[in-house]
Amino acid sequence: VHPSLRRELEAVVGADHVLTDPGLRATYETDWTRRWRGSALAVVRPGSTDEVAAVLRLLNEARVPVVPQGGNTGMVGGSVPRGGEVVLSLTRLREMEPVDEAGEVTVGAGATLTAVQEHVRPLGWDVGVDLGARDSATIGGMVASNAGGIRVVRNGTMRAQVRGLEAVLADGTILRRLPGMLKDNTGLHLPSLLAGSEGTLAVITRVRLALVPTLARAVVALAGIGSIGDAAALASRLRRRLPTLVAAEAFTAEGLDLVVHHAGLAAPFSVRHPAYLLVECAGAADPLPELADALEAEAAGMLADVAVGEDEATRRRLWLLRERLTESISGAGIPHKLDVGVPVARVGELAERAPQVVAEVAPGAWVVLYGHVLDGNLHINVLGLDPEDEAADDAVLRLAISLGGTISAEHGVGVAKTRWLEADRGAADVAAMRAVKRALDPRGILNPGVLLPPE
């Protein structure tokens, strides 16, 4: 980085927070899946909203591109440099305000999900979104990528949790509407616009979250089932009966094999079933009786083996079989992770056909399927591919589009899926997105190459 620019950056954030040494930059330059990496001009770590504004003003003036970064747990290569950008790490913006008894809290963009959970749960509140990366994923990154996770069927995605935001535009302008209201009809809604913008429209510095009440009683059931499609169909019928349903996840036997092997967890049953359905019910009273009745009434011979967890430890042990899939797959190689969505009624067809379309173009590859079935969201992870070979990605993403679905249900577009954005959203939508991008970041310094394909 040019010495004068470096001196100006150091004058804003302090020399300790402008990293140019390759060794110090390294952890900021490779994504979690290890599929994307690039060398940053520098890593800059502002300690306040005003410092973010001053840094962006400098970089916008110098036309230096910026990659905003939170916990760097994103799955689509959007949080790491492609080469020559400044990585703007928001992890120092961690402060959390006292919880408002109306069930809201304002936190810094760099606060991790776990930190916020620990901050609000003792007061009887919880964050509506939960996901396996909770210890590293930051609230700012979760808003920017509109994270989904394991509670969407009950609480919606991250966009639905955001009551107010503070963010900084490329030229250093600070936008702030933090008190936030559930109903606020005063023109364009900033939180909706920035949620899912993946660091391309503004840098989020503070978030006001609407919280959900903690539910005193919970039960988890894990069952062997014939297929992912059966799991989706049964979960839909359970949702109709069970207002206490908060999660419905499914995964295949191949995934369980990896978790047992890599995470060293015990298989839940002596028999290896083709697929598994995990559901969680939670409420003020014990939800087990109604779950048992619903399974009795709706499962009609579809389930083989059922394990039930009532106490915290058993529930956690059952969840780990699902939550350890991501790291277990990464233990087996560098996966091409295709997080796609289809209408729930077509989840079965997607699960059937995805391995077939992959086999046609990549005979040596193998597929691990799992996901949030009631969100219509499967994570089609393909292993055994050359990182540069995107034939399997193309086949799966086009399959999702052909089923009336989306090329990204929760992880976003990043750099991974820009090639398919127009095939999914159409030229008109992409043009409209470009118009908004040009308006808010006219010099195009915010995360170039992410979300919108190069013109």
List contacts with ligand FAD (CB under 6 A). Answer: 32, 67-75, 78-79, 90, 109, 131-133, 136-138, 140-142, 144-145, 147-149, 198-199, 203-204, 326-327, 410-411, 447, 450
Nearer to ligand S2G, 166 or 339 (CB): 339
Nearer to ligand S2G, 198 or 298 (CB): 198
Check binding of 339 to ligand S2G (CB under 6 A): yes
Minimum CB–partner distance for residue 325 and ligand S2G (Å): 6
Q: How many helices (H) and strands (E) does the chain have?
A: 16, 16
Is there a contact between 44 and 9 (Cβ–Cβ < 8 Å)? Answer: yes
Q: Which does 79 bind (CB under 5 to 8 A by kind): ligand FAD, ligand S2G, none?
A: ligand FAD
Instruction: Please give the structure tokens belonging to residue 281.
Output: 């019910």
CA distance 352 to 370: 12
Minimum CB–partner distance for residue 374 and ligand FAD (Å): 13
Is there a contact between 249 and 150 (Cβ–Cβ < 8 Å)? Answer: yes
Closest CA to 81 of 110, 41, 131, 23: 41
Q: Return left, alpha or beta for 179; rule: phi > 0 is left, psi -120 to 50 is alpha, else beta.
A: alpha
Q: Which does 447 bind (CB under 5 to 8 A by kind): ligand FAD, ligand S2G, none?
A: ligand FAD
Selected from 326, 328, 406, 447, the binder of ligand S2G by CB under 6 A is 326
Please give the size of the binding site for ligand S2G, defined by CB under 6 A: 7
What SS3 state is found at 239? Answer: helix
Residue 86 half-sphere exposure toward CB, CA atoms < 13 A: 28
Give the phi and the psi of residue 285 in degrees, each rounded to 5.
-110, 165
Give the phi and the psi of residue 202 in degrees, each rounded to 5.
-165, 165
Residue type, 152: V
Residue nearest to ligand FAD (CB): 141
Is there a contact between 336 and 382 (Cβ–Cβ < 8 Å)? Answer: yes
Is there a contact between 151 and 246 (Cβ–Cβ < 8 Å)? Answer: yes
Nearer to ligand S2G, 35 or 337 (CB): 337
Selected from 45, 206, 336, 379, the binder of ligand S2G by CB under 6 A is 379
Residue 300, C-beta contacts closer than 8 angstroms, at least 6 positions apart: none
Minimum CB–partner distance for residue 101 and ligand FAD (Å): 27
Nearer to ligand FAD, 39 or 136 (CB): 136
Residue 58-87 contact track with ligand S2G, rule CB under 6 A, x = bound = -----------------x------------
Q: Which does 379 bind (CB under 5 to 8 A by kind): ligand S2G, ligand FAD, none?
A: ligand S2G
Nearer to ligand FAD, 141 or 287 (CB): 141
* Binding region for ligand S2G (CB under 6 A): 75, 132, 325-326, 337, 339, 379
